[in-house]
Amino acid sequence: MSDIKTKKRKTWKNPLAVWGAKGGNHEVPTPEWKNPHQIWRDTKAFKVPTTKIGRFHYEYKSSNHGEKIWNRLRWWPTRRTILWTQGVYNRKSLKPEKIRKDKRPIFWFLSLLALAIMPFILPDGFKNSLLTAGGIFGIYASINLCWTLVIGTAGIFSLATYAIVGMSAFLTTWLSINLGLPWWMLPMIGMFVGLAFGVIIALPALRLDGFYYGLLTLGLNELCRVFITTSHAFGAASGGLYGADTFVDDNWAPMTQTLVQYYSGFALLIAALFLFRFVDGKRLGRILKLAPEKKEAFAEASGVNYKRARVTVFLISSIALGFIGGFYAAYYRGSAFDIFSFHTVIMGLAMITIGGIGRADGAVAGTLIIVVLDRVLVELGPYRYIIIGLIMMFTILFLKNGLFGIRKQFRDWRDKKKGEARSSRLERGGEMLPEQATEMDNKDEIYRKRYDKMQREFLKTLICDEIIEEHKQKPLGQHSEALERVCYYFRRGAMNDKYVVKCEVPFKKYKIMALSGVRGRSPRLVEDKIYDTVEAAYHGLFLRRIQDLMEA
């Protein structure tokens, strides 16, 4: 208000001047005033800083031919499409578009393709060590996929996975040495060994729950280790039992041997992925998804025999683990005692937790990370175990469900932030809170209040000593723009509590009253002050209205 005199005085053109009203000049001087559109723009402006992230707007959408039906490829002979595609219409252009609802098959295909062509693109210097590690990766990833079936799908917290593999490997090696079995028999026999051990280990699982079972299987693992290392039949002295028949011919070139091992490990991984998909994604998996931990009673009440499904999954994966054990024996010509050690269990748990428990991609990616750290970066020495331990700590401290849970975790976090931002800009809605707005029947009222608030904000900026002085000089007639806008607002105010001038004695006594706004209820007197002239009363009324405006 005080700096108003320093501003340049403007003039206001009176649009009503053409009618020739008395005193209706073409132009009158007016104090500096703010553009009324500005407050509208300010209110409408989106003040929260936004970055270009989003769930749908930046998702790739391929164009769709409007006339031709999509070219849907299907897995023969099922009706299942190769990629889950959904047709949508672009919200702006209304063009039909296709989005891939689930891109994981694409990533799986690309990563497996990369593994398949790995031997041809690796530089010669690293080829041998990397391919050896690749074979190990295939075997461990298959074991971990079966383990994921047990822990994730069946929900049985078993730590005896490597014990089954190891027992199968040792027994088949022993049989191969003593009975001269060919290599292709080993996985077959391993399946029976796995089944036998699966039955033995599954028995307590029916009675015990959760971590009691985990601790028991940890002990069983130790039992197997002690049994194998102390028994005479399994070569107690040499650190392992070797001498089984193998599919790798010693007479081949070293690179051929490595390649055969690599691709056999790769084939095992593919087989394990298929097993995972057909157990986890089909009937058994669906049944068990209905019976997660602590909701078993509900599943049972729904008629789901979840115990039977759990044991079935456990036995299936035990058979698979036995198969892998036999394969392991044929791959390495035997097995080392290492497979029973606590260290192996820790490494296996690291593999499945880093990627995310219960997911195939998590198991495979976690195995890849650990195998690369453990087998490829050997020159790091013991530090690699410290790194693995730190990765495990990071995973449990900061991630909800491993690396592959990051996507969901990030989206949850973003939604939370979005909600916070939304609640922080409630003032955009004007006078009314959202929960009040839903209860208001007349929605126009919401917008009126919002507009009213904006207008009052704007008019407050116009009030200055100059317009008060101008109004005192001439309460009626042509005013400057600022005063005219303020007066227009006051005149069209609501009837309840609207100030009016009451004439007590004409030309002598005037008082200010307020209308009740209700039919039949008389106005009330607001002050006892008596004005001598009607102009003074007009100005007193104007001052009261300004006071109300500034206080609101």
Partner 1 sequence: MNDLIFLIINGITVASIYGLIAVAVSITWSALGLLNLSYGFIFSFAGYGAWLAERHIYGEPIFVMFMGIAAGVIGGVLVCLLVFIPVHDKPNFTIRGMIGTLAVSLIGGQILLQNFGPKAKLLPEFFGYGKIKIMDVVLTADKIGIIFSSIIMLTIVVRWMKSSRRGLEIRAMMMNPHAASIVGIGVRKTGIYVMAVTGAMTGLSAALLSQTYYLSPFSGLTPMIKGVSIALMGGLGSVRGAVIAAIILGFNEALTTKFLGGRYVLMTQFALIIIVLIIRPRGIAGILDKAREA
* One-letter amino acid for residue 57 of the chain: H
Write out the E strands in 391-493. Answer: none
Q: What is the β-pairing status of strands 509-514 and 499-505?
A: antiparallel
CA nearest to 139, candidates 402, 371, 385? 371
Q: Cβ closer to partner 1: 142 or 395? A: 395
C-alpha separations of 284 from 42, 71, 208, 317, 460 in Å = 59, 32, 21, 12, 70
Output 363 or 459, the one with its CB closest to partner 1: 363
Residue 353 as a binder of partner 1 (CB under 8 A): the answer is yes
Q: Pick from 48, 393, 433, 503 the residue near partner 1 by CB under 8 A.
A: 393
Tokens 């001598």 belong to residue? 532
**Smallest separation (angstroms) from partner 1 to the CB of 58:** 30
- What's the min distance (Å) between Cβ of 342 and partner 1? 5
Q: Is the dihedral of CA 338, 152, 142, 100 positive or negative?
A: negative
CA-based radius of gyration for the chain? 41
Beta bridge partners of 487: none
Among 400, 418, 428, 443, binds partner 1 (CB under 8 A): 400
Distance CA 525, CA 542 (A): 16
In the complex, what is the shortest distance from the CB of residue 49 to partner 1, in angstroms, rounded to a whole number?
Answer: 30
Binding mask 305-344 for partner 1 (x = CB under 8 A): -------------------------------------x--
Residue that the structure tokens 């004409």 belong to: 506
Query: Does residue 349 bind partner 1 (CB under 8 A)?
Result: yes
Give least dist CB 163 to partner 1, A. Answer: 12
CA distance 130 to 141: 16
SS3 of residue 276 by DSSP:
helix
* Binding residues for partner 1 restricted to 196-255, rule: CB under 8 A: 203-204, 207-212, 214-216, 218-220, 222-223, 226-227, 230-231
Report the site for partner 1 in 5-34 (rule: CB under 8 A): none
Give residue 305's identity as a one-letter amino acid code.
N
Q: Which of 23, 87, 389, 419 binds partner 1 (CB under 8 A)?
A: 389
Single residue of 53, 301, 397, 505 touching partner 1 by CB under 8 A: 397
Residues 6+ apart with CB under 8 A from 425: 47, 48
Pairing of strands 509-514, 524-525: antiparallel
Member of 88, 110, 396, 426 binding partner 1 (CB under 8 A): 396
By the 10 Å C-beta count (0-12 exposed, 13-18 middle, 19+ buried), 40 is classed as middle
Query: Which stretch, 2-10, 116-124, 168-176, 346-354, contacts partner 1 (CB under 8 A)?
Result: 346-354
Is there binding between residue 84 and partner 1 (CB under 8 A)? Answer: no
Piece in contact with partner 1 (CB under 8 A), picked from 74-82, 87-95, 349-357, 452-460:
349-357
Each residue 139-178 as x (binds partner 1 by CB under 8 A) or -, in order, gives: ------------------x---------------------
Distance CA 201, CA 158 (A): 9
Binding site for partner 1 (CB under 8 A): 157, 203-204, 207-212, 214-216, 218-220, 222-223, 226-227, 230-231, 342, 346, 349-350, 353, 357, 382-383, 385-386, 388-390, 392-393, 395-397, 400
